[in-house]
Each structure stands twice: as structure tokens, then as C-alpha cells.
């Protein structure tokens, strides 16, 4: 049996590359959208080999990344 590490880190704090509002209107594969938003947030996004991307509309108008991520919780 394994025990959780006593020195494991807590939740991460997002530090976006920019706090400027973004506008994005597109229909694209979810993988491309996640990678683009991850890049703007300064995150490396990785995908499970079983992940299946699909095309979706993404409409963001004058929204900061921190506000966008907070709405996903």
C-alpha cells in the first residue's frame, strides 16, 4: 500500500501571460482551443491518448482568462 506524499503541493495558481481581455470567435477542434487557451494562460496542456477532439464553437468577447477559467468551476 502506498501513502500520499506529505510534501505534495496544494492547488496551483494560474498566472496568465497577459491580463488583457481577449476576443475569440471560432469553430475549431476542442484540442486546438484548449491548446490556444493554455498557451495564453502559460499552461502546458496534454491529452490522454484516448481523448477524442470534436469541433465546437467558441465565442469569447472581451473576457480575461482568469474570468473565463473561473466560469468553468
Q: Which helix (H) or strand (E) holds 28?
A: strand 22-29
What is the spatial distance between Cα 35 and Cα 39, in angstroms, rounded to a whole number?
Answer: 6
Residue 14 pLDDT grade (very low, low, confident, very high; cuts 50, 70, 90): low
The answer to whether residues 22 and 60 touch, using CB atoms and an 8 Å cutoff, is yes
The answer to whether residues 27 and 56 touch, using CB atoms and an 8 Å cutoff, is yes
47's grid cell: 491529452
pLDDT in tens, 41-50: 788 899 999 9
- What pTM does this model have? 0.64
Q: Half-sphere exposure of residue 37, counting CA atoms within 13 Å on the CB side? A: 23
Residue 69 pLDDT grade (very low, low, confident, very high; cuts 50, 70, 90): low
Amino acid at each position: 500500500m502506498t501513502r500520499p506524499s506529505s510534501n505534495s503541493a496544494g492547488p496551483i495558481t494560474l498566472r496568465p501571460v497577459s491580463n488583457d481581455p481577449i476576443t475569440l470567435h471560432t469553430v475549431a477542434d476542442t484540442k486546438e482551443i484548449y491548446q490556444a487557451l493554455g498557451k495564453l494562460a502559460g499552461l502546458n496542456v496534454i491529452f490522454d491518448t484516448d481523448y477524442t477532439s470534436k469541433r465546437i464553437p467558441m465565442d469569447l468577447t472581451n473576457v480575461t482568462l482568469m474570468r473565463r477559467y473561473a466560469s468553468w468551476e
